[in-house]
Amino acid sequence: MNRITNARTESWMSGEYSVFVKIYDANKNYLTETDKIRQFKDTDPGEVLTANIDFDIPVEYSGTYHYLVGIEFEKEVLLSHYFILKILPFAPVPEVKRWTGSVQVGYQDAQAVEPTTSMNLRVVNLLPQGRYLKLSTSGRSSPIADPELSNFLVSYHSKKVDISAGEFTTGLSQLTLSRSRGIKVESRLGRINLVGLVGSSQKTFEGDLYGLRGSSNVTNKFELAANYVQGKESQNSVASLQGELAISPQITLSGEYGWSSYEGVTFSLCNTMTLSFCGDSAFNS
């Protein structure tokens, strides 16, 4: 709201003038101005005019600014002196955390299959700016097996990095390291993905190992990847090359070839080739 005093000797007639505001930076360089708001009130000499002039402050504005109040008539424009405008940095209101998830509990008992109780839990915490924190676990119990967790995974996802700890159904690749447990970090740099894993292929951390994976989307239809796994306290290692080609939106061809070295002896692993249709059917060789 602005208060403007008519210091002239003639009246300002209703409908014949408009008011507006000009915005300047700290050095009084012109930035922008508001819309001109026509006034429908007679303002006699010495009388004070009160007018509302709306201005949406851009989010990038911060610090000290100046502004002038202007009155535009048909043949002239009157401007006030500079006023100081202080703008605090914009602090966005944090998004409310949202939890979502599911719990599945099942029980089966048949003559051919022993009675078994299973449980699956999945909880996801959605964070601001495309991030989330996820917990998933599953377990089972039967008369000949004590209740145990068969899977436990905690993961954090953001636009550039994923951090996971627990048991992985896919550690690096099918030939180098499939199901494993440990800590995995994945970083995305444009078309390149880098993955590092420290863990074990056993339930206990005996035979600890580390793995590295690098992949790149060479084109929108072709992805190339390299994998390497090394035992921490042995010469045992596995390496492989992978490729995936999207022949069409419905058909994808992927393959992997690996080499393994055990205490200085090197030999090739079986190669794999998969042809997938729409992600629903696959033929393996």
Q: What is the pLDDT of residues 79-102, one digit of tens each?
A: 888 888 888 887 766 655 677 877
Higher pLDDT, 171 or 239: 239
Which of 65-74, 137-146, 257-266 holds the top average pLDDT? 65-74
Domain final residue, candidates 57, 87, 117: 87
Domain final residue, candidates 29, 54, 87: 87
- The answer to whether position 133 is within a domain reads no
> Which domain covers residue 191, as residue numbers?
183-285
- The answer to whether position 78 is within a domain reads yes
Residue 145 pLDDT exceeds 70: no
User: CB–CB of 241/202 below 8 Å?
Assistant: no
Query: Which residue spans within 93-191 are E strands per DSSP?
Result: 98-108, 116-127, 131-142, 145-157, 161-168, 180-189
Distance, in Å, from the CA atom of 258 to the CA atom of 280, rounded to the nearest integer, reads: 26
The stretch 229-255 carries a mean pLDDT of 82
Confidence grade of residue 264 (pLDDT, cut at 50, 70, 90): low
Domain final residue, candidates 87, 116, 143: 87
Q: What is the pLDDT of residues 167-208, one digit of tens each?
A: 887 788 888 887 788 899 999 888 899 999 998 876 655 668
- The answer to whether position 211 is within a domain reads yes
Whichever domain contains 37, its CATH number is: 2.60.40
- The answer to whether position 217 is within a domain reads yes
> Which pLDDT value is given to residue 228?
93
Which residues lie across from 281 on neighbouring strands? 277
Residue 226 pLDDT exceeds 90: yes
Q: What is the pLDDT of residues 38-52, one digit of tens each?
A: 888 888 888 888 888
Q: In this predicted structure, which of 77-81, 129-133, 249-253 has the lowest mean pLDDT?
A: 249-253
> Which pLDDT value is given to residue 7?
84
User: For the chain, what is the mean pLDDT?
Assistant: 81
Domain count, the chain: 2
Distance, in Å, from the CA atom of 33 to the CA atom of 56, rounded to the nearest integer, reads: 10
